[in-house]
Amino acid sequence: MKSLPLLQKLAIAVLICLHLAVLGARFLAPYDPTEQNRASTLTAPSRIFPLGTDEFGRDQLSRMLWGGQISLATGWIATLLALGIGLTLGVAAGFWGGWSDALLMRGAELFLALPWLYLLLAVRAFLPLSLSPWAMALMIAAIIGTVGWARPARLIRGVVLSAKEREFVYAARGFGASPWRLITKHCLPETYGVLLTQAALLLPQFILAEVTLSFLGFGVAEPAVSWGNLLQPLRQISIIGGYWWMTLPVLLVVAVAWGFSALEDALASSNRANSG
Amino acid sequence: MFKRYLLRRLLHAVLLLAGVSVLSFVLLELAPGDFLGEARINPQLSASTIAALQEQYGLNQSLPHKYLSWLGSVTKGSFGVSFSYNLPVSTLLWPRARKTLQLTLASLFLSWLIALPLGVLSAGRRGGWLDRGTSLVTSLLLGLPDLVLACLVLFLAVRTGWFRTGHPILPITVLVLAALPLLVRHVRSALLDVAQQPHVRAARAHGIHGMQLWFQWLLPAAANPLASLFGLSIAGLISSSLLVETILGWPGLGPLFLEAIAARDFYLVIGPVMLSAVFLVAGVLIGDLLLYLVDPRIRTGI
């Protein structure tokens, strides 16, 4: 991790700061994100509203900070879920092989062939509209997670498949170690590298999935704030053309995407350094 | 030989599509709402009217029954009936699918047209200014989501006023920019891999260089990874076109699909899902067949 390029370091630092700022929205945000100031709608950034206001006169900075809570949380929960399912299935398939392996590989192939953004939207459409924002965020995370397990499962299966053939695992097996011990003590540590890289890969995808859903109007409903909701006004030509500060939330998405891709690069190169 | 390979791949594709269709039916069925959700809370409609509508749309049938009758309609080419339009889904789907295909094929062609020379040139002068410039730009573009790219292009189009929204150049630009970084990177690394191989070094030692080396030694040897990349790039374009079309106002599958979702029009939702799955699977299939045609090692492998 010592010799990271400057740009990479910067992107990761921005990503961490963004997470901290979103976590501390309660202390950092100058206004209530849903408070409307009808007298000052669509005002340019000023000392009163540091990043301007939207078409209802809501403070843009506060909305960006608070909105991150739902967007980032959805991404993280969905990633943990996808990795959890992927890890369980991947380890089981890799360790025991046989029909469970064959079943998993076919299933994974099926899930990888799914046009998943389409499916995500489709399933979301048939969910009830009247859920509280956090229940909705959890639902969305659950759907994303259950659709996104296939790639990590395949990778983890591969790692476990090679890990269980290593000499020290044979030795442990020879000494009478139980399958549980073999898995937790000997195979799981080998998967950490893949898990971390996959997390860095899936997180921005899943955060973006929530943003996309809300942007299209199928995510968390107003008045709750998410980054997707903040981008929604951009679908109106008059707003995207006339009020540049309304495009600022795009930067958040860019920061998340660049930050995680830098993180993934860094993790991948440190993995290579460790194994090679 | 080729026929057998083709048949096997086709069978595989059909099985995969059948799996996708079952899975989407099950997932959509698990979600609680349906088309009549709003009619049910409408006080002007009586319970018997709702029941009649349910009967008419076949909403109270069991899942296997629904699925089988949908399969039957697929064999007749209609893909079920749209509740809100009261038309066969296929009549709504085909014109939109054609628009989407126009868009993706144009973007596919353009992105390869740009990526191939760019990848070749940056692999040829490794570490040169072009290589470093391309690698910086591709790594920046790679992180940019389609959503952001589309918003940026829309922003520029509205600000400069060069193109009206709805002009095909806008979605094509976004799709090409979204597809480009991955293509350039893969072309470059495939060529760098090949350049290290013994037969290329032997050719070089025999004094073959320039265009002849590129076209007779390097590109054919790199064709293998490039052919599978071709299939993947079709799949990628199809899945990003949903969002891009919607934001930039191109009347393809994307807007129709979102409209169907808002109306909870079950079969009109299933239609685009299946169609995009077909495009995805077809993309991979085309990649496999290309691979078979360009790489003799695969032909002898079976």
**Is the predicted pLDDT of residue A276 greater than 50, yes or no?**
no
Q: Alpha-carbon distance B181 to A5, whole Å?
A: 20
**Residue whose token pair is 């020879």:** A174
* Mean of pLDDT values over B175-182: 90
Q: A113 and B33 in contact by Cβ < 8 A? A: no
With beta carbons less than 8 A apart as the criterion, state whether A81 and A146 touch.
yes
More confident residue, B160 or B149: B149
Tell me the residue length of chain B.
Answer: 302
Q: Residue B60: its pLDDT value, please?
A: 72
Q: Alpha-carbon distance B155 to B159, whole Å?
A: 6
Of B145, B155, B261, the CB nearest to A122: B261
Mutate to test the interface with B, among A4, A10, A126 (most CBs of B within 10 A): A126
With beta carbons less than 8 A apart as the criterion, state whether A100 and A263 touch.
no
pLDDT in tens, A170-220: 888 889 888 888 888 888 888 888 899 999 989 998 998 889 888 888 878
Q: Residue A1: its pLDDT value, please?
A: 45
Q: Alpha-carbon distance A128 to A124, whole Å?
A: 9
Q: Return the domain boundaries, chain A.
A: 6-22+59-275
pLDDT in tens, B73-100: 888 888 888 888 888 888 888 999 899 9
Average pLDDT value for chain B: 83
More confident residue, B120 or A238: B120
Whether the CB of B273 is below 8 Å from some CB of chain A: the reply is yes
Band the pLDDT of B231: cuts 50, 70, 90: confident
**Is the predicted pLDDT of residue B183 greater than 80, yes or no?**
yes
Q: Is the dihedral of CA A183, A186, A189, A195 positive or negative?
A: negative
pLDDT in tens, B187-217: 888 888 888 888 888 888 888 877 788 777 8
More confident residue, B50 or A108: A108
Query: In Å, how far is B102's CA from the nearest CA of chain A?
Result: 19
Residues contacting A162, CB < 8 A, separation 6+: none
**Is the predicted pLDDT of residue A109 greater than 90, yes or no?**
no
Output the DSSP codes for A205-223.
HHHHHHHHHHHTT-SSPTT
Q: Residue B38: its pLDDT value, please?
A: 67
Strand partners, A59: A53
Q: Is B165 helix (H, G, I), strand (E, B) or coil?
A: coil
Lowest-pLDDT range of A25-34, A36-45, B126-135: A36-45
Give me the interface pTM, i.e. the ipTM. 0.79
Q: Alpha-carbon distance B75 to A229, whole Å?
A: 41
CATH class of A6-22+59-275: mainly alpha
Q: Is A59 helix (H, G, I), strand (E, B) or coil?
A: strand
With beta carbons less than 8 A apart as the criterion, state whether B177 and B137 touch.
no
Whether the CB of B13 is below 8 Å from some CB of chain A: the reply is no
Output the DSSP codes for B49-94.
HHHHHHHHHTTTS-HHHHHHHHHHHHHTT--SEETTTTEEHHHHHH
**Token output for B105:** 């094929």
For the CA atoms of B143, A13, A211, B239, what is the dihedral angle to 10 degrees? 20
Lowest-pLDDT range of A222-236, A246-260, B31-45: B31-45
Q: Residue A129: its pLDDT value, please?
A: 65
**Is the predicted pLDDT of residue A223 greater than 50, yes or no?**
yes
Q: Output the CA angle B9-B14-B17, nearest 5 degrees.
A: 125
Band the pLDDT of B110: cuts 50, 70, 90: very high
Q: Residue B152: its pLDDT value, please?
A: 86
**Is the predicted pLDDT of residue B33 greater than 70, yes or no?**
no
Of A116, A204, A240, the CB nearest to B154: A240
Whether the CB of B270 is below 8 Å from some CB of chain A: the reply is yes
Beta strands in chain B (DSSP E): 81-82, 87-88
Using CA atoms, how far residue B276 sits from A132, A205, B63, B84, B101, in Å, is: 32, 19, 22, 22, 10
Average pLDDT value for chain A: 85
Q: Residue A135: its pLDDT value, please?
A: 84
* Mean of pLDDT values over A148-158: 89
The pLDDT > 70 percentage for chain B reads: 96
Q: Residue B301: its pLDDT value, please?
A: 56
With beta carbons less than 8 A apart as the criterion, state whether A111 and A147 touch.
yes
Taking only residues 131 to 170 of chain B, the set having a beta carbon closer than 8 angstroms to any beta carbon of chain A reads 139-140, 142-145, 147-148, 151-152, 154-155, 158-159, 165
Strand partners, B81: B88
With beta carbons less than 8 A apart as the criterion, state whether B107 and B174 touch.
no
Own/partner long-range contacts of A26-31 (Cβ < 8 Å, ≥24 apart): A28/A65, A29/A59, A29/A61, A29/A62, A29/A65, A29/A66, A30/A59, A30/A61, A30/A62, A31/A58, A31/A59, A31/A62
